């Protein structure tokens, strides 16, 4: 596919050049062109709109395929005591992470004040009551929630379907087992195809970001630059708080273990995740660290791959901060309490569907935005603000991936300790 043996074309350099740098260059060029050419650059808008439409196109297939595959990969047999504990830890820490993200957003108040595009923005959702919101998670018609892009209901259906499928796949009846495997293979294949499509779409991202950002700067001027710095600071401070309060707190108080000893081995996967920006890619290093920490293989061989797929605390913080940034930039005000409730639920569930690969969290941010009435629609301020975030995604992704991996390892260690599956000899010798 990569055509390594074929002759180099004049455009080959483009695909060989690191995508992160290309997107960053797109962002910087967009800023410069927007500021220099002002309204004369507005003709590029359709190129930005094209990028937004491509992203929206893959949103539904991505939720359905990745969530169904994710949920059905947990075999019911493994869902024993350890499994349930690990999953509860994973979900709780993710929910706390979203709250930290929202609080960081509220404190730092990052806003690009995209006033001139504001009326074209996505319609603000009429805040439904919490009971109504919760009830609406259970769809009455699966087809209609897919067509109407009712995100939470689709997520709910995908999880239930995936769970059902996981039982089918281990059925004693050969016919059922075979049917389960066929359906699993279908969705697994679908997820892989979507991943390929995303890779393709991201090749266009530098141009899409350039076009979207230049329009934002052409219509708003230079005042929006500082807001990106504030978004970055809010995310990273949120990441740091989560490490100190949640992970260190968990290791010290729930696990009654030495934080220093924990980080002695945890720093390797932490750094690897930071540079690779992929929880999946870091998995071998995380497993090695768990082994060195004395976690029994039965525990980590289940909990770490599961964590790399469903536990994304850093991504959850990032979504809380970025959703707040986009709301403040577009609406001029933050979220109501019930909208925050929706974000906590959506971002926690969306983190289950986020693949542990670079940049996946930015795609899942689309879902979170959609759920609170901020759909990324071509030509709106939401799309402009989203593109600004995408321009600095590489930096935000480094921090959030490092956190994602640290979350997997700390939950695994604490659960192992609580189940007496931790080799304490490895702690006593080296503990300070
Ligand atoms: N890169 C992250 C990870 O692999 C996912 C994300 O983009 O948020 O954990």
Residue range 25-70, pLDDT digits in tens: 988 999 899 999 988 988 998 998 888 788 778 777 877 887 788 7
What does the pLDDT look like over 75-133, one tens digit per residue? Answer: 776 666 777 888 889 989 999 999 999 999 999 988 876 654 444 444 444 445 556 66
> How many domains, in total, are found in the chain?
1
Residue 7 domain flag:
no
More confident site: 218 or 99? 99
Alpha carbon distance, N-terminus to C-terminus of the chain: 53
Residue 64 domain flag:
yes
What does the pLDDT look like over 74-84, one tens digit per residue? Answer: 777 666 677 78
Give the pLDDT score at 36. Answer: 94
User: Which of 310, 311, 322, 355 maximizes ligand 1 atoms within 8 Å of its Cβ, making it the mutation to test the pocket?
Assistant: 355
CA 407 – CA 309 distance, rounded (Å): 12
Residue 9 domain flag:
no
Residue 14 domain flag:
no
User: Which of 279, 320, 352 maximizes ligand 1 atoms within 8 Å of its Cβ, making it the mutation to test the pocket?
Assistant: 279
CATH number for position 279: 1.10.3860.10
Computed over every residue of the chain, the mean pLDDT equals 85
What does the pLDDT look like over 391-431, one tens digit per residue? Answer: 888 789 999 999 999 999 999 999 999 988 899 998 886 54
What spacing in Å lies between the alpha carbon of 382 and ligand 1's midpoint? 22
Ligand 1 pocket, 380 CB below 6 A? no
Domain interval for residue 87: 20-429
CA 172 – CA 425 distance, rounded (Å): 41
Residue 407 domain flag:
yes
Per-residue pLDDT, averaged over 328-335, amounts to: 89
Q: Is the pLDDT of residue 233 over 90?
A: yes
Residue 82 domain flag:
yes
Give the pLDDT score at 430. Answer: 53
Residue 12 domain flag:
no
Q: Which of 60, 64, 83 is nearest to 352 (CA)?
A: 64
- Token pair 């706390």: residue: 96
Ligand 1 pocket, 312 CB below 6 A? yes
Q: Is the pLDDT of residue 258 over 70?
A: yes
Q: Which of 94, 422, 85, 98 is nearest to 247 (CA)?
A: 94
Q: Which of 59, 152, 60, 154 is nearest to 338 (CA)?
A: 152
Q: What letter does residue 117 receive in the DSSP assignment?
A: G
Give the pLDDT score at 123. Answer: 44
Per-residue pLDDT, averaged over 195-224, amounts to: 84
Global confidence as pTM: 0.77
Q: Are the C-beta atoms of 129 and 338 separated by less than 8 Å?
A: yes
Residue 3 domain flag:
no
Give the pLDDT score at 429. Answer: 60
Give the pLDDT score at 6. Answer: 61
pLDDT level of residue 5 (50, 70, 90 thresholds): low
């Amino acid at each position: 596919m990569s055509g390594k043996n074929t002759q180099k074309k004049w455009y080959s350099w483009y695909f060989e050049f690191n995508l992160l740098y290309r997107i960053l260059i797109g962002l910087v060029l967009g800023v410069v062109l927007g500021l220099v050419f002002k309204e004369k650059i507005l003709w590029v808008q359709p190129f930005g709109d094209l990028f937004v439409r491509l992203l929206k196109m893959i949103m539904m297939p991505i939720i359905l395929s990745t969530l169904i595959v994710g949920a059905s990969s947990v075999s019911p047999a493994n869902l024993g005591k350890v499994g349930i504990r690990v999953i509860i830890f994973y979900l709780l820490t993710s929910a706390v992470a979203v709250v930290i993200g929202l609080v960081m957003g509220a404190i730092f108040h990052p806003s690009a004040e995209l006033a001139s595009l504001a009326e074209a923005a996505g319609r603000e959702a009429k805040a439904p009551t919490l009971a109504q919101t919760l009830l609406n998670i259970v769809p009455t018609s699966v087809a209609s929630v897919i067509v109407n892009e009712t995100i939470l209901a689709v997520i709910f259906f995908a999880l239930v379907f995936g769970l059902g499928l996981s039982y089918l796949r281990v059925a004693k009846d050969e016919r059922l087992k075979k049917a389960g495997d066929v359906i699993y293979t279908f969705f697994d294949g679908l997820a892989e195809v979507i991943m390929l499509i995303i890779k393709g779409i991201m090749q266009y991202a530098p141009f899409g970001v350039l076009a979207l950002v230049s329009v934002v700067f052409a219509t708003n001027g230079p005042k929006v630059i500082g807001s990106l710095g504030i978004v970055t600071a809010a995310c990273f401070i949120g990441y740091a708080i989560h490490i100190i309060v949640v992970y260190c707190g968990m290791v010290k108080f729930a696990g009654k273990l030495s934080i220093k000893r924990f980080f002695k081995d945890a720093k390797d996967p932490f750094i690897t995740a930071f540079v690779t920006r992929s929880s999946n890619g870091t998995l071998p290093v995380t497993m090695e660290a768990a082994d060195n920490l004395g976690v029994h293989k039965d525990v980590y061989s289940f909990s770490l791959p599961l964590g790399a797929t469903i536990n994304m605390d850093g991504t959850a913080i990032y979504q809380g901060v970025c959703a707040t940034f986009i709301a403040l930039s577009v609406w001029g005000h933050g979220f109501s309490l019930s909208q925050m409730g929706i974000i906590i639920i959506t971002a926690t569930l969306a983190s289950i569907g986020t693949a542990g690969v670079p940049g996946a969290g930015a795609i899942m941010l689309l879902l979170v935005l959609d759920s609170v009435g901020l759909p990324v629609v071509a030509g709106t301020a939401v799309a402009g603000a989203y593109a600004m975030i995408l321009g600095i995604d590489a930096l935000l992704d480094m921090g959030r991936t490092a956190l994602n991996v640290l979350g997997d390892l700390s939950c695994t260690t604490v659960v192992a300790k609580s189940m007496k599956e931790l080799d304490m000899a490895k702690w006593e010798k080296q503990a300070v």
